[in-house]
Amino acid sequence: MNARTAELIERLSREHALSEADYRALIEARDDESAALLAEKAVAVRHEIYGDAVFIRGLIEISNICKNDCLYCGIRRSNANAQRYRLTPEQIIACAAEGHALGFRTFVLQGGEDAWFTDAILCEIIGEIKRRFPDCAVTLSLGERSRDSYKRLFDAGVDRYLLRHETADPDHYARLHPASMSFDNRMRCLYDLRAIGYQVGCGFMVGSPFQTSAALAKDLKFIEDFRPDMCGIGPFIPHHDTPFRDRLAGTLEETLYLLSIIRLIHPPVLLPATTALGTIHPEGREKGLLAGANVVMPNLSPVQVRKQYELYDNKICTGDESAQCRRCLEARVERVGYRVVTDRGDVKKSPSKAQQ
């Protein structure tokens, strides 16, 4: 690590901001030493805000039917080999009930853009979950919808919404998505969600095809400006039935490096150690926590459909019962010196010492 890189890291941890050119320089300067320094600072600032707490979210994958055709994704519409499924409202509520008994207080309902899940149907499911488990937060991750739809879902009680921006570079966006999808609409969704009152999560894949350090610098600048409540990042992993089947996966090291940087840009952010990170390395999620992540998301989907929610190859946790997945993650969290907390785990809104 040269003096310039050390100065960038110092400035980032002091000011929580860099120019786009400096983000790019920092990304390009990655080596073991700079990664270790960033991780040390990221863990320290997370500790000031959240102590040794790691939040758990129960993930329920409600449908793998999707009208979109993202080039990277295994459940894209054009993948005729995907075995499609859709959980019934009763199945979704049963998953939440099982999760609640296991201690979960946040449920993330995630799925493809499946038109069967109208606002009316979703509002009924959300209403039922909120009635039965009033102490729980509900998070949706169901892609792009209209502002009216987001508003109706919010009024039905949804607390949070995850919608990865995927890339903050419009040209890169166009190379990852079909012409029918637009970068501007993606951004419109994120700003609508924010304006309505949701806690909002954005995010991107690390090492996606055509990604450059300049594009990553734009992602970091976007996170600095948007200040998301949550930010999901994980390595790109090729899926054998997509146009990107022969591409290289993103790396563990680059993902960890970016996790640390994002923690320093926005110290209170809720940052998951993702399933994709656990897929590229057996201890990927533990390493994610040690780089600054503070959320894990065990799978609560019914075991019989788990393999079908295959966004990328070799996804982990597809054979384990919810209880096993929760226990497994708890053990992993404790092994690296942290503690799973089971409250709702809302983002800390008050400025941390580090931000003053």
Closest approach of ligand FES to the CB of residue 299, in Å: 6
Q: Which two tokens stand for residue 64?
A: 């793998």
- Chain centre to alpha carbon of residue 73: 15
Q: How many CB atoms lie within 10 A of CB 259?
A: 29
Place of tokens 């990221």: 42
Write the binding mask 149 to 178 for ligand 5AD: x where contact by CB under 6 A, - elsewhere: ---------------x-x------------
Partner touching 329 among ligand 5AD, ligand FES, none, CB below 5 to 8 Å by kind: ligand FES
Phi/psi of residue 141, each to 5°?
-145, 75
Q: Is 65 in the site for ligand 5AD (CB under 6 A)?
A: no
Q: Is 59 in the site for ligand 5AD (CB under 6 A)?
A: no
- According to CB under 6 A, which one of 71, 328, 336, 354 is a site residue for ligand FES? 328
Decide: helix, strand or coil at residue 106. Answer: strand
Q: Is 311 in the site for ligand 5AD (CB under 6 A)?
A: yes
Residue nearer to ligand FES on the CB measure, 59 or 190: 59
Task: Answer whether 329's CB lies under 8 Å from 338's CB.
Answer: no
Query: DSSP alpha helices (H): ranges in the chain?
Result: 3-15, 20-28, 32-50, 89-101, 119-132, 147-155, 170-176, 183-196, 213-226, 252-265, 275-280, 284-291, 303-306, 322-335
Residues 260-299 that bind ligand FES (CB under 6 A): 298-299
Residues in Cβ contact with 297 at an 8 Å cutoff, skipping those fewer than 6 apart: 56, 57, 58, 59, 108, 272, 274, 275
Q: Is 95 in the site for ligand FES (CB under 6 A)?
A: no
Residue nearer to ligand FES on the CB measure, 264 or 317: 317
Partner touching 234 among ligand 5AD, ligand FES, none, CB below 5 to 8 Å by kind: ligand 5AD
- According to CB under 6 A, which one of 65, 317, 340, 347 is a site residue for ligand FES? 317
Q: Is 40 in the site for ligand FES (CB under 6 A)?
A: no
Residues 259-278 that bind ligand 5AD (CB under 6 A): 276
Q: Which stretch binds ligand 5AD (CB under 6 A): 8-16, 21-29, 53-61, 233-241?
A: 233-241
Q: Is 237 in the site for ligand 5AD (CB under 6 A)?
A: yes
Closest approach of ligand 5AD to the CB of residue 151, in Å: 22
Q: Which stretch binds ligand 5AD (CB under 6 A): 17-25, 230-238, 258-266, 286-294?
A: 230-238
Q: Is 311 in the site for ligand FES (CB under 6 A)?
A: no
Partner touching 73 among ligand FES, ligand 5AD, none, CB below 5 to 8 Å by kind: ligand 5AD
Q: Which stretch binds ligand 5AD (CB under 6 A): 20-28, 213-221, 229-237, 333-341?
A: 229-237
- According to CB under 6 A, which one of 29, 38, 125, 329 is a site residue for ligand FES? 329
Strand order in the sheet with 53-56: 295-296, 53-56, 339-341
- According to CB under 6 A, which one of 93, 158, 205, 293 is a site residue for ligand 5AD? 205
Could you tell me which of 213, 200, 80 has the C-alpha nearest to residue 141? 200
Length of the chain as a residue count: 356
Handedness of CA 10, 251, 181, 61 (dihedral sign): negative
Could you tell me which of 114, 120, 63 has the C-alpha nearest to residue 87? 63
Could you tell me which of 243, 172, 264, 177 has the C-alpha nearest to residue 213? 172
Q: How many CB atoms lie within 10 A of CB 304?
A: 8
Q: Is 56 in the site for ligand FES (CB under 6 A)?
A: no
Q: H or E element: which one contains 204?
A: strand 199-206
> Which residues of the chain form contacts with ligand FES (CB under 6 A)?
298-299, 317, 320, 324-325, 328-329
> Which residues of the chain form contacts with ligand 5AD (CB under 6 A)?
72-73, 164, 166, 205, 234, 236-237, 239, 276, 311-312
